[in-house]
Amino acid sequence: MAPSRRTLHEILVTTPSFVWLSVLFCVPTLIVFAMTFKPADMYGGLGPGWTLETLRHLANPNYPAIIWRTIWLSAAATLISLVLSIPMAYYIARATPGLRNALLLLTIVPFWTNFLIRIFAWKILLHPEGFLKRALVAAGIIAPDTSLLYNPEAVLVVMVYTYLPFAILPIYAAAEKFDFHLLEAAMDLGASRLTAFRKVFLPGIRRGILTAFLMVFIPSLGSYVIPDVVGGPNSEMIGNKIAQRVFVDRNLPHASGLSAFLTLAVLVPLAVVWVVQKRTSGQPPTMQEVA
Amino acid sequence: MAEFLEFVDVSKTFGRLRAVDHVSLGVRRGEFFSLLGPSGCGKTTLLRMLGGFEIPDTGRIYLDGVDITDLPPNRRQVNTIFQNYALFPHLSVWENIAFGLRVAKRPRREIFNEVERMLALIQMEEHAHKKPHQISGGQKQRVAIARALINKPSVLLLDEPLAALDLKLRQRMLIELDLIHDQVGITFLYVTHDQGEAMSLSDRIAVMNQGRIEQLGTPAEVYEAPRSSFVAAFIGDTNFFEGRVAEIINDDYILMQIDGFPSVVCFNDKKMKVNDLVYLSVRPEKFRISRERPQLDGRYNLISANVEDIIYLGSHTKYWVRVDEYRLAISQQHGRFLLDEQPIRWKDDVWIWWHADDGYMLERYSEADELLIQTPPEEVGQNGAVPAPPRAEV
Amino acid sequence: MKRSPLPLLTTLLVLVFFYLPIAVLVANSFNASRFGGTWEGFSLRWYSRLWHEREIWHAFRNTMLVATTATLVSTILGTSAAFALHRYHSRLQRFHYALIYTPLVIPEILMGMSLLLFFVALKIQLGLFTIFLAHVTFCISYVAMVVLARLQDFDFAIVEAAMDLGAGWWTTLWRVLVPLLAPGILAGALLAFTLSIDDFVISFFVAGPGSTTLPIRIYSMIKFGATPLINALSTILLVFTFLVVLLTHHLTREHHS
């Protein structure tokens, strides 16, 4: 059978994005893996031939500490974000329509605000001569020589700050569809408020939680600007190392090796969520909550 | 045969599903014609092929003698009322109705006059400037009708137009549709799964099942003289009997032998011979039921039975009675004031009877069609037992 | 039924957490003091200084150039992708969906890194053009998702209704599809535009000499300390963002009513 008009139309509307993303997304990602086995030349480019040099370098004892820090900071940021966003999403979903719109708007504004500005705002807030530091010292909570900036805690706080809206929006989207009469039904059947919340509400918004998990955890793993601006030497993450290899050492194969590692690391949570979703007969989580 | 609208040997397959299977069908000018069948029977596909939204794999479609099979939707003299009306949400009621004339680039004067006339017809003058989301379901329905009729189509296609409405509104719109059909006098092709709608509106009905037409006829024909067990069970309730011809009584009547059931007299319109296999359908309202043994003359079948279920429905009562192995559904109208009579109760022994002319022999029978027959609701959950379907065949 | 106060408290806490740093930043942009610690009176001097920064204007021009072109291209590609995903459910579309979806979850640094290598391997001169290519690449997915969401509550019977009433392909597109889908496509375009204006990480990786965008400029100001100027610049961008959010919100709301 010759291709029908329908098939031709499908090809017509699919091709532009399909080709663009294949060339500028799939191919570059594959190149990252390939470049790992290329030698670097002296001018910051790529040398001829193939080598395992990069892999040997990745075994450098410095890396495990950085990898470990990347994982625990990301996990902590994800956990804190979920703990904050679940009650907040619950509150927004149960609010009156007017209040709900206002709260959503207030959540979306930081989400749309320039990423660098949000980080910079924290640098100002935590600045040694800034108002927060002075207030805390004056209140006797911290000693005058404590530094609020340039440590892993500052990085964690700013990571939560940056990615929290990404957790609130998908969880809210799920909570909005949740039938709150179910909670009353559960309590009618003898469940306490907490039990009803745990056994009925949380499973009901599972999909939202899984999406939120991905939306926070994955970008966290790739953080680079946050530790770069508010972190110190003891709070470097993989992203910093990649940037360092590109912009400072100009060693592209090393940067590729680290990126390839990070890509694989990112696939792990994706695969986990995919399997969990699949078991509950879902499609992959969507990101339609963005707008 | 050269009908006004004609489907000739039309088929359509989607993947492995044969939605429409070699259908030939003629519709007369000005007729209210219904395609009736369960979901997935192919009725909507047939309608969409007429609308131009699907192209048939085989066969041709003629409208007023012209082959329209390959014409695009915008070049056919037919208009459709869509299931959810498909009103344009960004246009007002007025502009929705005007759409067809606007795209046809008709003079403004004419558009104005025609739209106002249509608004009057559907009594929506004061809602002309509302948007579709500001009007009720019944009003949307009327706008959809006006929007289609303004183009003066040769045929108006209606795809389950009442499905989105609640019961009361559905009944009112049913009357309105009938009135509009009488007023405009164009051909209506109506698709529905609701036998009540089809019966009350149509001049003729085509009952469809699995992509084929099972029977075509007036509402009374398909109800009283179903050709297959599917038609008998899909349109109304019935009781099936399977047996063999035991004896030819005369030219018109035979005696039918049914295993485990008293033999019954029935009208032999199919000219059956001795030992032929017979499937008989007897509708519940053809039965009479009484505690007293009636005095009958003529060709009646009188049988004693035991009452198993009773549902009182006001104007009539439904009984399910047992005769040996068989469970029969019986429906009895209450013509008289019921409280004066001694009522029939659960477990009563009763007499049931029907006239030999009131059963109807089927041409085709399939056991699966018995699932279409209504079962008494309180059966479910009685002693936690799974209900046996009421069956009266061997 | 009495409700737990916990959700309300969390919400308030989060809102304070969200807006405290922003408030301090905005306040400081009007502070005459060079360092944010003390209030030395209201002043617009940072704004006027900003006005005279030639490098910022140059970066701004670059950003606008990239953002408009990338928005235009990605809106066309993303909208067409959304149509394909919505209308067809073939194997090809399952793959297509994965292709659209993955860039949304991949960390920016990986996309920046892979594009840099791609351009280096192909010996493409780094500059505004490579930034444009990169921005289109990540914007397609966002536009496609926004438009797809809008298509999901779009009843395609309306298209059939238009053709049924005599409208041809072009009339249907112009009189029905465009007016109905315009808010969704515009919302997608606005998102692409803001994302492009905001992007730092990917731009930084694929930027070349002379192709400094506004975020890259801001980054170097942050790193090399021109604090009060960034306060002022940030405040301007915040106001801009707020207007865009309101506009998008309006577009979305109108559709749902």
When mean pLDDT is compared over A43-47, B186-190, C234-238, the highest value belongs to: B186-190
Domain B230-384 has what CATH class?
mainly beta
- Residue B142 tokens read as 């009327």
User: What's chain C look like in SS3?
Assistant: CCCCCHHHHHHHHHHHHHHHHHHHHHHHHCECCCCCCCCCCECCHHHHHHHCCHHHHHHHHHHHHHHHHHHHHHHHHHHHHHHHHHHCCCHHHHHHHHHHHHHHHCCHHHHHHHHHHHHHHCCCCCCHHHHHHHHHHHHHHHHHHHHHHHHHCCCCHHHHHHHHCCCCHHHHHHHHHHHHHHHHHHHHHHHHHHHHHHCCHHHHHHCCCCCCCHHHHHHHHHHCCCHHHHHHHHHHHHHHHHHHHHHHHHHHHHHHC
Claim to verify: residue C12 and residue C138 sit in the same structural domain: no
Claim to verify: residue C215 and residue C102 sit in the same structural domain: yes
Q: Does residue A165 sit within a domain?
A: yes
Interface probe with A: pick from C17, C87, C111, C114, most Cβ of A within 10 Å: C114
| pLDDT at site B390 | 42
Å from A265 to nearest chain C CA? 11
Q: Does residue A111 sit within a domain?
A: yes
- Stretch B124-139: mean pLDDT: 90
Inform me whether the pLDDT recorded for C154 exceeds 50: yes
| pLDDT at site B385 | 38
| Domain coverage including residue C209 | 52-256
Q: How far apart are the first and last CA of chain A?
A: 42
CATH number of B5-229, picked from 3.30.565.10, 3.40.50.300, 3.30.450.20, 3.40.50.2300: 3.40.50.300
Task: Find, among B156, B220, B142, B216, the residue nearest to B190 by Cα.
Answer: B156
Could you read off the pLDDT of B329-376 as tens digits, one per residue?
A: 999 888 776 666 678 888 889 999 999 999 999 888 888 888 787 766
Claim to verify: residue C62 and residue C29 sit in the same structural domain: no
- Stretch B156-165: mean pLDDT: 87
Which residue type sits at A112? W
Q: Does residue A282 sit within a domain?
A: yes
CATH number of the CATH domain containing A68: 1.10.3720.10
Percentage of chain C exceeding pLDDT 70: 94
Count of structural domains, chain A: 1
Q: Does B53 touch chain C (CB under 8 A)?
A: yes
Could you read off the pLDDT of C96-140 as tens digits, one per residue?
A: 999 998 898 889 999 999 999 999 888 899 999 999 999 999 999
Could you read off the pLDDT of B140-154 as tens digits, one per residue?
A: 988 999 999 898 899
Inform me whether the pLDDT recorded for B76 exceeds 60: yes
| pLDDT at site C213 | 93
Q: How many helices (H) and strands (E) does chain B have?
A: 8, 20
Could you read off the pLDDT of B47-70 as tens digits, one per residue?
A: 999 998 888 999 999 999 999 998
Inform me whether the pLDDT recorded for B31 exceeds 90: yes
Q: Does residue A30 sit within a domain?
A: no
CB contact under 8 A, B82 and C160: yes
Chains touching B by CB (3 or more pairs below 8 Å): C
Q: Where in chain B is the domain with CATH 2.40.50.100?
A: 230-384
CB contact under 8 A, C155 and B86: yes
Percentage of chain A exceeding pLDDT 70: 93
Q: Does C182 touch chain B (CB under 8 A)?
A: no
Interface probe with B: pick from C151, C158, C163, C165, most Cβ of B within 10 Å: C165
- Nearest residue on chain A to C7, alpha-carbon basis: A87
- Stretch A164-177: mean pLDDT: 91
Claim to verify: residue C208 and residue C191 sit in the same structural domain: yes
Lowest mean pLDDT among A219-223, B57-61, B223-227, C31-35: C31-35
Inform me whether the pLDDT recorded for A245 exceeds 60: yes
| Domain coverage including residue A205 | 53-290
Percentage of chain A exceeding pLDDT 90: 30
Say if CB C201 and CB C116 are below 8 A apart. Answer: no
Q: Does residue A45 sit within a domain?
A: no
For chain A, positions 177-216, list CB contacts with chain C under 8 A.
Answer: 184, 187, 193, 214-215
Chains B, C: CB contacts within 8 A come to 65
Claim to verify: residue C66 and residue C39 sit in the same structural domain: no
| pLDDT at site B129 | 93
Claim to verify: residue C27 and residue C108 sit in the same structural domain: no
CATH number of the CATH domain containing C181: 1.10.3720.10
Claim to verify: residue C61 and residue C166 sit in the same structural domain: yes
Q: Where in chain B is the domain with CATH 3.40.50.300?
A: 5-229
- Nearest residue on chain B to C153, alpha-carbon basis: B89
| pLDDT at site A15 | 92
Claim to verify: residue C157 and residue C174 sit in the same structural domain: yes
- Stretch A255-284: mean pLDDT: 79
Claim to verify: residue C70 and residue C165 sit in the same structural domain: yes
Claim to verify: residue C16 and residue C120 sit in the same structural domain: no
Contact residues on chain B for C155, CB-CB shorter than 8 A: 84, 86
Claim to verify: residue C27 and residue C59 sit in the same structural domain: no
